[in-house]
Homo-oligomer: A and B are copies of this chain.
Amino acid sequence: MIKILLIEDEPKTVQSLKQGLEENHYTVDVAYDGLMGKQLATRTAYQLIISDIIIPGMNGLELCKSLRAEGIQTPILMLTALSTTDDKLVGFEAGADDYLAKPFDFKEFLARVKALIKRSNQTLIEAQVLKFADLELDLTSKIVTRSGQKINLTAKEFQLMEYFLRNQEKVISKAEIAENIWEVEDEGSSNLIEVYVNYLRKKVDKGFPSKLIHTQFGMGYILRQE
C-alpha cells in the first residue's frame, strides 16, 4: 500500500486529486492546513507528500523546510498557482523534489507522482542509531560511543561523523563533504575539512586498536575496518 499525504485546502482540488490518485491505487490522507499536515507527516510514514504552497496556518514552503529540518526525507511535490521561475526556485531550495504549476493536467501530475515514488522506493528507511563496527551514533540523543565508551563530539563533528556513517564503506570526496556539511560549492582554499577529519580521528580513532577513518589519497576519505 502506497500512502500519499495531500496538503491542500481548496475542496475542489482535494476532491479531484484524491479521487484520481485513489483510482490509481494510492491511499491518500488529506490535511487541510499546515499544522495538520506537519503532524500527519511526522507521525505517519508516507511515500510522498503533495503540498500546495498556499495553505492556511503555515506557508507550504515553511512546512517543507521544517520537515526537512526534522530529518524527514519523504519526497515532496509542491503545487501552486504561482509559476514564475523564482517561485519554483524557492520551492526547490526549501527542499521540494518537484514543482508543478496550476493549472496542470492530471496525467502529468500522475506521471510526476509516479516518478517521485519510484525514486524514493530505492532509498532506505531512516534509522535512529547509526552503527559501524563498535562505533554507535544515536541521532536522537546525539550520544556517540565507541566500544561502549562515550565520546563527546561538537555539533559539526557530529554532523561529519553522521555523514561518514551514512556513507560507510564508500569513499567520500571533499567536494561532497563541503557540499553536504558546509553547504558550499567550492570548498575554498582552506583546509577546514582536513582539520575536522583530524578532530574526529583524535576523538574516534586515537587510543583504539583499529582505525575506522581512512584517507584515500587523491580521492577522499572512507569509513572502513582494517
Contact = CB atoms under 8 A, between A and B. Distances in A.
Given A25-B186, A97-B119, A141-B222, A108 B89 contact: yes
A73 interface: yes
A42 interface: no
A149 interface: no
Contacts of A173: 1
Interface stretch (A5-13, A109-117, A203-211): A109-117
Nearest to A216: B142
A198 interface: no
A169 interface: yes
A224 interface: yes
Given A140-B171, A222-B141, A119 B123 contact: yes
Given A140-B171, A186-B25, A89 B107 contact: yes
Interface residues of A, number: 48
Contacts of A107: 85-86, 89
Contacts of A108: 85, 88-89
A24 B185 contact: yes
Contacts of A122: 73, 123
A112 B92 contact: yes
A65 B170 CA distance: 30
A88 B111 contact: yes
Interface in A178-226: 185-186, 216-219, 222, 224
A172 to B, nearest CB: 10
Contact of A105 (B85, B96, B119, B171): B85
Given A124-B125, A142-B222, 17 more contacts: A1-B175, A2-B175, A25-B185, A85-B105, A88-B111, A92-B111, A97-B119, A98-B115, A119-B120, A119-B123, A140-B171, A141-B171, A142-B171, A154-B217, A155-B216, A156-B218, A158-B219
Interface of A: 1-2, 24-25, 73, 75, 85-86, 88-89, 92-93, 96-98, 105, 107-108, 111-112, 114-115, 119-120, 122-125, 140-142, 154-156, 158, 169-171, 173, 175, 185-186, 216-219, 222, 224
